[in-house]
Structure 1
């Protein structure tokens, strides 16, 4: 997704220490939306896994980042449960 004349590096609030490409910034925003909703939908989680991969992370890491950001903002505790915090690899839980 090229944007001639616009910045090619972005920062998103969920990953403030990283400079992202256009595609990565878009993936970060989409990933946030996907993980904010129900996670029992396999198609939704497949998309989340793909977007997390574009950011060089797994869904479990993204959930932890979102929970930390919510805590920093004083929002209700959204800490991942044991089942959602387990790392995912190619759509399968790693044991």
Structure 2
């Protein structure tokens, strides 16, 4: 059985205070697995950005995409503060995903 579609905005990091990547998907578990296993060439593969450090679920893909666009415009310090508010140790949240 496949995972239900649930729009989510997420931030990946290469490590604590490392390189950040903001993304959006409707299948979080699958998408993060793809990042971690370097399935596609691109930013996360090039810079080793694999740890899921922040996520935010949305009711619609439209609202998730708008939030992703908003976060991509944010200053780095604001993104770090957002991560550290709920994940001060920058733990990889992927192993504990319960969807």
- TM-score with structure 1 setting the length: 0.24
* More strand as a share of residues: 2
- TM-score with structure 2 setting the length: 0.24
* More helix as a share of residues: 1
Structure with the bigger RCO (C-alpha within 8 Å, sep 6+) is 2
Larger Rg: 1
